Structure 1
Amino acid sequence: MKRFWILAAAISGSIISGTAFSSGNAQVGATKAVVCKACHGATGNSLNPQWPSLAGLGAGYITEQLQNFKSGKRPNPIMAANVAALTPQDMEDLGAYFNSLPNTGLQADPKYWKAGEKLYRGGDRSSGVPACMGCHGPTAAGNEPGKIPALRGQHATYVIKQLQDYASGARMTGPNNIMEVIAKRLTADDMRNVASYVKGIR
C-alpha cells in the first residue's frame, strides 16, 4: 500500500515539474504536415488503428516524441526517416498544428470499457497501479505543461502496443520512467480494458 502512494506522489511531482510550453506556430506547421498526414490522417485522426491519431494529442508531447525519434531514444525506422530533416522549429510547429486539430473520437468496445473505466479512474491497489487519470486527466485530455499525452479517442490497438512496449522495455520515454514501472504491473486484460475505455472518451 505504501509503495502505491509513493508511486502516485512521484507521478504528481513529475507533472508539476514539467513547465515547458510549445512555441510552435500552428499555421506554419500546417504547411509542413503533408507527409505526416499520409499515415496520421488528413485531419490528424488516423484511420489505421496501428498508427496514432495526433489531433489534440498535446503540442509539447508531439514535439518531444519527434525529438525522441530523431535522436533514437524512441526507436522506429519509419519515423526516424521521416523526421531526419526536421529542425527543432519544424517539430515545434508540427506539434502546435496537430494539437490544434479536434480529435473526432472513436467507439469503445462495450465488452471491456467498464473494467477499463474502473482502472483508469481508480487504479488497482492490489497490483500497485495508480489511477491513469492522475496524469492523463479525468477526461483523458492529457497535461500540456507536463508533456503528458491526451488519450481520449486514441486507437486501442495503438495504446495496447505502447503499453506492451513500455512493459518490455522496448519504449523508455517519459518522466522518471513512470510508464515502464506502471506497464509492468498491468496484465494483458488490464491493457485491453483501459485502452478500450480511453478510445471511447470524447
Structure 2
Amino acid sequence: MKSIVSILMSATVSALVAGSALANPAAAPASAKPDLAKGEAAYAMCASCHAADGNSTTPVNPKLSQQHPEYLIKQLHEFKSGKRANAVMSGMAAGLSDDDMRNIAYWLASKQAKPGFAKDKDTVALGERIYRGGIPDRQIAACASCHSPNGAGMPAQYPRVSGQHADYTAAQLVQFRDGVRKNSVQMTQVAAKMNDREIKAVADYMAGLR
C-alpha cells in the first residue's frame, strides 16, 4: 500500500505537469495523427489566396505547399493570438481549432512545391553572396546557416524558403526590419541591418533556389 506521502507527491507532480501543459501548449501531449482529408476540407477557405494545392500564383501571397507543418502551425497560432499582425489572416485563423491547424498544416506539407525563378540578373550575384555568406562586416549571418544551402529549411526550426515569391519574401523582411512583424527576434535582428537593395536581391535569389 502506498504511503500518504507517496500519494501526495504523485498528485503534486501530476498537477505540476498539467499546469505546465496549460501554460505552454507545446508541453502538452501531441494530438492524434493528423487527418489529411479533414485538412484538405478545412483548407478550402484558403485556396482563393494560396491556390488549391498551396502553390500560390499571386506574388504577395506566400506559397505554402511542402512547408514544414510545425512552422505553419506556429504561424496560425500567432495570427490567431495577434502575435503576428495581419487583419486577413487573423480573421481566417480565429475560427480554427488546434486540430484544424494541425490537419491543414500537414496536408499542405504533403503537397509538392512548384519551383520558382530568380528574375533580376543584375542582383543575383549579390543575393547569392548574402544568402550563402551573409554580410560579415555588419555581422549579418548567412541565410543558408538556418534555411539550408538549398532553401529547404530545417523542420520544426526554420521554414522552407526555396521557390517562395520574391515579392512576399522581400515584404516580410521589410516588415521585420521596420518592426511591423515581431514574431521572430532572430529575423528582426538580421533584417534590421539590411537595406532595400540587399533585401530585394536575396529575396529574388531565394525564389530560384532548388
Separation of aligned partners in 1, 2:34 and 2:183:
22
1:155 matched to 2:165? The reply is yes
Q: Tell me if the contact between 2:39 and 2:100 (Cα under 8 Å) persists in the aligned partners.
A: yes
Partner letter of residue 118 of structure 1?
R
Task: For residue 103 of structure 1, report the CA deviation from its aligned partner.
Answer: 1.1
Separation of aligned partners in 2, 1:197 and 1:25:
35
Partner letter of residue 143 of structure 1?
M
Separation of aligned partners in 2, 1:76 and 1:114:
33
Larger Rg: 2
Give the aligned partner of residue 124 of structure 2: 113
Let me know the Cα RMSD of the aligned residues. Answer: 1.8
Partner letter of residue 82 of structure 1?
M
Q: TM-score, normalising length from structure 2?
A: 0.82
Separation of aligned partners in 2, 1:117 and 1:25:
39
Q: Tell me if the contact between 2:163 and 2:209 (Cα under 8 Å) persists in the aligned partners.
A: yes
1:95 matched to 2:132? The reply is no
Cα deviations across residues 82-127 of structure 1 (Å, max 9, x unaligned)? 1111001110111111111111111112222221111101111011
Give 5+ residue unaligned stretches, structure 2. 1-25
Give the aligned partner of residue 139 of structure 1: 150
Higher relative contact order (CA 8 A, sep 6+): 1
1:124 aligned to 135, 141, 149, which one? 135
Give 5+ residue unaligned stretches, structure 1. 1-17
Separation of aligned partners in 2, 1:113 and 1:94:
34
Separation of aligned partners in 1, 2:162 and 2:37:
24
Separation of aligned partners in 2, 1:71 and 1:115:
37
Give the aligned partner of residue 65 of structure 1: 75
Does the residue aligned with 1:171 lie in a helix, a strand or coil? coil
Does the residue aligned with 1:192 lie in a helix, a strand or coil? helix
Separation of aligned partners in 2, 1:155 and 1:145:
22
Task: For residue 145 of structure 1, report the CA deviation from its aligned partner.
Answer: 2.5
Give the aligned partner of residue 185 of structure 1: 193
1:199 matched to 2:210? The reply is no
Q: TM-score, normalising length from structure 1?
A: 0.85
Give the aligned length: 181
Give the alignment of 1:8-27 within 5 angstroms: 24-27=34-37
State the identity as a percent.
33
Separation of aligned partners in 2, 1:162 and 1:99:
21
Partner letter of residue 103 of structure 2?
D
